[in-house]
Structure 1
Amino acid sequence: MKFGDILVVIAVIAIVIMMIIPLPTFILDLLLTFNITLALVILLVSMYTLEPLQFSIFPSLLLLTTLFRLALNVSSTRLILINGFAGNVIRAFGEFVIGSNALVGFIIFLILIVIQFIVITKGAERVAEVAARFTLDGMPGKQMSIDADLNAGLITDAEVRKRRLDIQREADFYGAMDGASKFVKGDAIAAIIITIINIIGGLITGMIFKNMDFSTAVSHYTLLTVGDGLVSQIPALLISTATGIIVTRAASDSNLGEDLLKQILSHPKVLLIASAALAFLGIMPGLPTIPFFVLSAIMGFSGYSMYHTGKKEISKVEEEEIEKETDYLKKPENVVSLLQVDPIELEFGYGIIPLADVNQGGDLLDRVIMIRRQCAVEMGIIVPVIRIRDNIQLRPNEYVIKIKGVEVSRGELKPDHYLAMNPGTVEEEIEGVQTVEPAFGLPAVWISKEKKDKAEMLGYTVVDSPSVIATHLTEVIKRYAHELLGRQEVKMLADSVKESHPALIEELVPKVLSLGEIQKVLANLLKEGISIRDLVTIFETLADYGNITKDPDMLTEYVRQALSRVITKKYVYDNRLKVITLDPKLEELIRDSIQQTDHGNYLSINPEITQKIFTSLSNEIKKFSSINQEPVILTSPVVRLFFRRLIEHTFPSLAVLSFNEIEPRVEVQSIGMVSIK
């Protein structure tokens, strides 16, 4: 290998010299045999190549082999015309093909040339041309894909350089193959011309210079011409076939032989159908029975064997997977995977499975996707993936909603029924099964399909079973949104804002506040039902006041005031806000009861006074039931947070607002007051 490059240079020079200097017949025999061997090696290498770039030297090798073959043609033609003998190899090939009939042998030789020129050479040339064109056209897209992977951090700089080099080499290879295929075409044309020259020149030489009669000259020189043509065309045919294999070869994990067996013989049904078709042809009158039956039996046996082999392999793979899974669970270090808890789970009995099965017309999965989108729009949160599974321990039509593995709510449906709810304006009752709407706890009735139209005409709100689950799930997500929002979700939200407001995020995180402190503020907002979709305003406010205080509760109050438009829109109807206020004496009592400590502020009030507050508040809330509006408590900014904490366990859904959170243009109307008299 040390002097291999020098040997290659010498070999190329020798090929050119062969066209000029006559060769002895024994050397020509040796070179012709080497030419056939070289062509066979090239064909085998192309078949065992997994992808074209593994044989990237092929275009240059194609040029050298073509030149070598043409040099041999020149040398053999010289010997045929001068001596009437070109060695034992050419004579042996000629006698083997021609036999006793020169015309038949010559026709067979012409057929080989036609196959070489029209079929293989033409096809390989066209494939190489198209492959080169598509490779060059696809280079910009491949380069963009590499740049995208690099920007996403999926690959390193070294991998980028390697992939770009592979793309360049691939383009160079197919471009070179497009040109090299012209050598194969030219070689086939040259073979036809040389054959004609050998026959005509041989006839002239034999009849004029060697005094042969016409039939003797035709027989002698046709034999030598056919022999010479075969010795040159067999290697040419092998290399043309290798060219076609290389340019049509797609990247694969195995060689051509393995791919053929795997992809063609991997369908036992095809072989069994072919066997039946052959057997049918075998019984047709006029057709030979034995060949068709023999092939039918071979095909049938092969298909049957492959079918059973495939079943055994599938069973073996399944057993291996079960064994791997068992071994995986037995390992102590893999117990950690069992500690994973899904943020949200929806479990249901087997009677509700059709609602989630797309094949049975269920659309529950689509509704879950819409719930996530709805929560993103209304609350500004990224709802984690909702795990949906059946649970045989539940009643058939029962479902359970879990947050972080703990049940928080459940309900029960009646399939093929509708839930009818009285909005408060319907006087006539409808017959059905009395129940309670699971999301809001309102009285409702399960009615059959036949009564749906009647209920809607009477004014009932009628929903189907999937809508009941979807509404219930949506309300549960909103109620526990503050628990679902963790630091990782806050990081994702901050990254999304950073794309459009990079300066804001760079100033806020982590210079002013950490992700944990921001998460507490956002959780406080979600806990009271305030949307955090306007993250820019929230982050701007936190950046303004984060240097003043790190108290999440105080920062929450600043953010609420900045979100006054959002809060006003949520609770104001027709530019008018009906509220329940606090007695000034009660507000003063609350202010005086605020205790300040190193760990934060908290409210300390006598339990008897707390009970009086709850009683008075309950009486005032009843006034809102008559006007069909959501009750709202309005307090001073200092008192708002502490009054909210005081009542949140007894009245978790009651909104408590401060004067600073209401837009000035809104008309505030007090319809009650909470006092402790």
Structure 2
Amino acid sequence: MNALADMMRSPSKLLQGNYMKGLTGPLLIVMILSMMVLPLPPVLLDLFFTFNIALSIMVLLVSMYTMKALDFAAFPAVLLFSTLLRLSLNVASTRVVLMHGHTGPDAAGKVIEAFGHFLVGGNFAVGVMVFIILVLINFMVITKGAGRIAEVGARFMLDAMPGKQMAIDADLNAGLIGEDVARKRRKEVAQEADFYGSMDGASKFVRGDAVAGLLIMVINIIGGLIVGMLQHDLNFSTAVETYTLLAIGDGLVAQIPALVISTAAGVIVSRVTTDEDVGRQLTGQLFSNPQVLFLTAAIIGLMGLIPGMPNVSFLLIAGGLAWLGRKVMLRKPEPTAEQQQQASQAAASAVAAPESAEATWDDVALVEPLGMEVGYRLIPLVDQAQNGELLGRIKSIRKKIAQELGFLVPVVHIRDNLEIKPNAYVIKLKGVEIGRGEAFPTQFMAIDPGNVKGTLAGTPTQDPAFGLPAVWIEANLRQQAQVLGYTVVDACTVMATHLNHLIQTHAASLLGRQEVQQLLDQIAKTAPKLTEDLVPKVLTLSVLHKVLQNLLDEEVPIRDMRTILDILAEHAPTVKEAIELTSLVRLALGRAITQQLFPGDGELQVIGLDSALDGVLNQAMNNSSGIEPGLAEVLIKQASVAMARQEEKGLPPVLVVQHSLRVLLSRFLRRSLPRLKVLSQAEIPDSRIIKITATIGGRV
């Protein structure tokens, strides 16, 4: 309503560019429909036919000067409107021809007369042949070829869309491009798919137009004979000559622009996207090699020496090609201004190189937080140009870990390394190797979960993530391996699973101060007072960082940052040690920790401590003497046996102890038995029932 009122107050705005551009489409449609139903005088027919010819030439020239298909994204719509315009002109001219054709060859306007009389010399037989040839060229050659190219291009474009999207996401995850650039590239990929899909359909309009033009010419001739002989008493020969020439002129004046538009469509869909237009591509690639020009000149010259051949034409063309070849060979392209500037800069840098050889801070290469090096046979899995599948997997891994642990791990920097085995890969944390494995892109890894029913032919190995026995097998054995009970995964999944496991294991090391500050910034958007009152007034960023690392070391997610910060804000004024603060936070997160280890609301079947061992450990803690070596050895051995029994029953290996012993036993057992989780009794909700299924220290 506001826009309408503004337009009413300022009628002159309707004349401005945006309003006029918006009216172009509706006015064109109204004009086309009007020409189909309203009779047009010959003067308007001349004007519209001339406009149609000019439009086709403009479309052809624009298509020749485009650098890529999307530069002329409106071409499918232009193709549709131009086809409808030609058909409406055919309808209007047919009406005039049949009504006034008996008056003479200029009955339908000067344009049709010129095409029907001067272009074919007034000979209707020649005109019919020329018209049929034009229709066949348009229908069978240009339009059919352009339609096929558009169809294949649309199919390949749709097939390549997922790979292009993954490549864009990989660049975004690697930090090579920003979100705005990624959004722009995604939009271009979608527009390319829409364009080729539209071209595939729009090319059918041109083919239909050619058929319609042929039928309209036949109708004009037959209808003209009937009208001329029966209504205007013309004899047969006069009616044939008059109406045939008018029909030919009408057909030619429509089919020549149609041929030009079809050529433009072929140029659009057949060009290869470069930074040059079609004209520069043709001249630059066809006439740039002097050897080709000399050989062609020699062959044409020899043909021109054969008796009976048109010697002058052949020798003239041969001489022209030889002259052009010599000119290309002797021509030394002058450097452009940009090339001259680059050359001067290179010379200046070469002169200044000895003076600026001193090392600077730019020469310092910082260690990447997380990296992966691959052998040359694994490059296709991580190559952006080859749509490497592992790039998308890594993106999914980072997103999954962010959702599970509560922070975004650093970007995984991938590079090739020719010093390792061709099928090997190395995963590094802050420049230090934390994992290594081998993967075979054409094979599958069959992992033995412990209950397989047979053996497989292949290369024995181990699952790099969890150490389970496995076999690398060929693709044709995949179904057989699944029948025998193996878990079958491809090479990309092997590498992705290994990377995911190592990131989960070393999550605490990947959480730096920068990530902690980003977490606080995220929380400050919804609870600004919580972060302002806590950090750095009550708790330093270093202590908060250590608390969060302690939680991640014990595989406790830090997603519930509100609860963590609330507990720290309550106890940080009196408790300064990060270990004690971590224990207090664990108490607050006890329900989530228990739920993570024992989903549902069933009883907790856990490992317990013998009362005698419990007393010995409490006494060691009170005396600050630590665990004696002999006791430590027995403790690890019995804990290992108990954990194995738990896993055999399909139960999680969890040891429940008094709250005062949890930190001591967790830090002690984590090194030898990383899969054994230690819970405090105080961390378990009162609503959960505890059942001791194994005991440690019964004979201590």
TM-score by length of 1: 0.54
- Superposition pairs for residues 173-184 of structure 1, below 5 Å? none
Change (3 A) 1:359 1:333: closer
- Say yes or no: does 1:657 pair with 2:679: yes
Alpha-carbon separation, structure 2, partners of 1:341 and 1:320: 33
1:396 is aligned, of 422, 435, 442, to 422
Question: Among 654, 671, 678, which residue is 1:632 paired with?
Answer: 654
User: Quick one: which of 428, 431, 435 aligns to 1:409?
Assistant: 435
Tell me how far apart the structure 2 counterparts of residues 324 and 553 of structure 1 sit (CA, whole Å): 59
2:609 corresponds in structure 1 to 582
Change in CA separation of 1:405 and 1:617 when aligned onto 2, cut-off 3 Å: same
CA distance in 2, matches of 1:501, 1:592: 44
Deviation digits for residues 608-631 of structure 1 (CA, Å, limit 9, x no counterpart): 111111121112112123212330
For residue 462 of structure 1, give the secondary structure of its aligned residue in structure 2: strand
Query: In 2 relative to 1, CA 544–391 (structure 1 residues): closer, same or farther, beyond 3 Å?
Result: same
Q: What one-letter code is carried by the residue in structure 1 that aligns with 2:359? A: P
Cα deviation 1:251-278 (Å, max 9, x = unaligned): xxxxxxxxxxx999x96875676999xx
Question: Is residue 2:477 matched to residue 1:451?
Answer: yes
Q: CA deviation at 1:316?
A: 4.2
1:311 CA displacement? 11
Compute the displacement of 1:318 (Å): 10
Within the alignment, does 1:642 sit opposite 2:669 as a pair?
no
1:671 aligns to 2:698 (yes or no): no
CA distance in 2 between counterparts of 1:328 and 1:536 reads 56
C-alpha distance in structure 1 between counterparts of 2:342 and 2:457, whole Å: 56
The CA distance in 1 between the partners of 2:609 and 2:353, in whole Å, is 64
Residue identity in the other structure for 1:458: L
Alpha carbons of structure 1 residues 506 and 448: separation in structure 2 relative to 1, 3 Å:
same
After TM superposition, the runs of 4+ consecutive aligned structure 1 residues lying more than 3 A away are 266-276, 296-330, 358-361
Number of the residue aligned with 1:532: 558
Distance apart, 1:468 and its partner CA:
0.6
How many aligned positions are there? 408
Does 2:462 correspond to 1:440? no
**How far apart, in 1, do the equivalents of 2:376 and 2:409 lie?**
26
Distance 1:467 1:360 in 2: 18
The question of whether the paired residues in 2 share the 8 Å contact of 1:329 and 1:335 is answered with: no
Q: Please, which runs of 5 or more residues in structure 2 have no aligned partner? A: 1-274, 297-309
Q: Distance in 2 between matches of 1:402 and 1:644?
A: 26
SS at match of 1:590: helix
Q: What's the secondary structure of 1:399's corresponding residue? A: strand
Instruction: Write the distance in 2 (CA, Å) between the matches of 1:487 and 1:603.
Output: 34
Q: Distance between the aligned counterparts of 1:366 and 1:304, measured in 2?
A: 49
How far the C-alpha of 1:511 sits from its partner, in A, is 1.1
1:377 aligns with 2:403: yes
Letter matched to residue 334 of structure 1: W
SS in 2 for 1:331: coil
The farther-off stretch of 620-629 and 403-412 is 620-629
Q: Structure 1, residues 53-74: CA drift from partner, whole Å, max 9, x if none?
A: xxxxxxxxxxxxxxxxxxxxxx
AA aligned to 1:638 is S
Per-residue CA shift, 1:563-602, capped at 9, x if unaligned?
A: 1232122110443322111122222222222268xxxxx6
CA separation of 1:327/1:548 partners in 2, compared to 1, >3 Å: closer, same or farther?
farther
Aligned ranges 1:91-490 → 2 under 5 Å: 305-306=332-333, 316=343, 330-334=357-361, 337-338=364-365, 340-490=366-516
Question: In structure 2, the residue corresponding to 1:505 is in which secondary structure?
Answer: helix
Q: 1:476 aligns to what SS in structure 2?
A: helix
Q: 1:326 to 1:350 in 2, by over 3 A?
A: farther
Which letter does structure 2 place at the counterpart of 1:649?
Answer: R
CA distance in 2, matches of 1:445, 1:308: 60
> Is the 8 Å Cα contact of residues 444 and 473 (structure 2) preserved in structure 1?
yes
SS of residue in 2 equivalent to 1:530: coil
What is the distance in 2 between the residues matched to 1:515 and 1:672?
41
5+ residue gaps, structure 1, are 1-261, 597-601
**Deviation per CA, 1:422-447, whole angstroms, max 9, x where unpaired?**
22232222232211100111111111
What's the secondary structure of 1:382's corresponding residue? coil
Q: 1:349 to 1:271 in 2, by over 3 A?
A: closer
**1:466 CA drift (Å):** 0.7
Query: Aligned equivalents of 2:432 and 2:503: distance in 1?
Result: 14
Determine which structure has more spread, i.e. the larger CA radius of gyration: 1
Cross-structure match for 2:621? 594
Compared with structure 1, are the counterparts of its residues 329 and 646 closer, same or farther at alpha carbon in structure 2 (3 Å cutoff)?
farther
Q: Say whether the 8 Å CA contact 1:344–1:385 is kept in structure 2.
A: yes
The structure-2 alpha-carbon separation of the partners of 1:537 and 1:312, relative to structure 1 and needing over 3 Å to count, comes to same
What are the superposed Cα offsets for residues 193-240 of structure 1, whole Å, 9 maximum, x if unpaired? Answer: xxxxxxxxxxxxxxxxxxxxxxxxxxxxxxxxxxxxxxxxxxxxxxxx
CA deviation after TM superposition for structure 1 residue 465, in Å: 0.5
Measure how far apart 1:664 and its partner are.
2.5
Whether the 8 Å CA contact 1:411–1:438 is kept in 2: the answer is yes
Q: Which residue of 2 aligns with 1:29?
A: none
d(CA) in 2 for partners of 1:317, 1:448 = 57
Range moving further from structure 2, 434-443 or 560-569: 560-569
Deviations 1:540-561 (A, max 9, x none): 1111111120111111111111
Structure 1 pair 360–336 and aligned structure 2 pair: CA distance change class (3 A): closer
Alignment partners' CA distance in 1, 2:348 and 2:436: 36
TM-score by length of 2: 0.52
Aligned in 2, Cα 1:321/1:563: closer, same or farther, shift over 3 Å?
Answer: farther
**Shift in alpha-carbon separation, 1:431–1:309, aligned structure 2, 3 A:** same
Aligned-partner Cα distance in 1 for 2:448–2:432: 32
| CA drift at 1:421 | 1.3
| C-alpha separation in 2, matches of 1:541 and 1:272 | 72
Q: Structure 1, residues 1-55: CA drift from partner, whole Å, max 9, x if none? A: xxxxxxxxxxxxxxxxxxxxxxxxxxxxxxxxxxxxxxxxxxxxxxxxxxxxxxx
CA distance in 2: counterparts of 1:603 and 1:313, whole angstroms: 78
1:655 maps to amino acid:
K
After superposition, the Cα gap between the structure-2 partners of 1:652 and 1:328, relative to the gap in structure 1 and judged at 3 Å, is: farther
1:610 and 2:637 correspond: no
SS in 1 for 2:425: strand
CA RMSD of aligned residues (A): 4.2
Distance 1:522 1:441, change over 3 A: same
Do the aligned partners of residues 674 and 321 (structure 1) sit closer, same or farther apart at CA in structure 2, a change above 3 Å counting?
Answer: farther
Secondary structure of 2:660's counterpart equals: helix
Change in 2 beyond 3 A, CA 1:271/1:605: closer
Amino acid at match of 1:407: E
* SS at structure 2 position matched to 1:653: coil
Deviation larger for 344-353 or 319-328: 319-328
Among 540, 563, 570, which residue is 2:596 paired with? 570
Contact 1:344 1:387 in 2 (8 A): yes
Q: Is 1:542 aligned to 2:564, yes or no?
A: no
TM-superposed CA distance for 1:325, in Å, is 12
1:517 aligned partner: 543
Greater CA drift, 661-670 or 323-332:
323-332
Displacement after TM superposition at 1:458 (Å): 2.5
Q: 1:451 to 1:642 in 2, by over 3 A?
A: same
Amino acid paired to 2:630: E
Contact kept, 8 Å, 2:643 with 2:676, in 1: the verdict is: no
Assess, with a 3 A threshold, how the Cα gap between structure 1 residues 547 and 299 changes in structure 2: closer, same or farther.
Answer: farther
Q: Give the residue type in structure 2 aligned to 1:420.
A: A
Q: Distance in 2 between matches of 1:325 and 1:353?
A: 38
Equivalent-residue separation in structure 2 for 1:305 and 1:592 (angstroms): 93
Q: 1:653 Cα deviation (Å)?
A: 2.9
Indicate conservation of the 8 Å contact 1:271/1:303, yes or no: no
User: Which amino acid in structure 1 is aligned with residue 437 of structure 2?
Assistant: G
Aligned AA (2:614): E
Give the residue type in structure 1 aligned to 2:618: R
CA contact (8 A) 2:441 2:492 kept: no
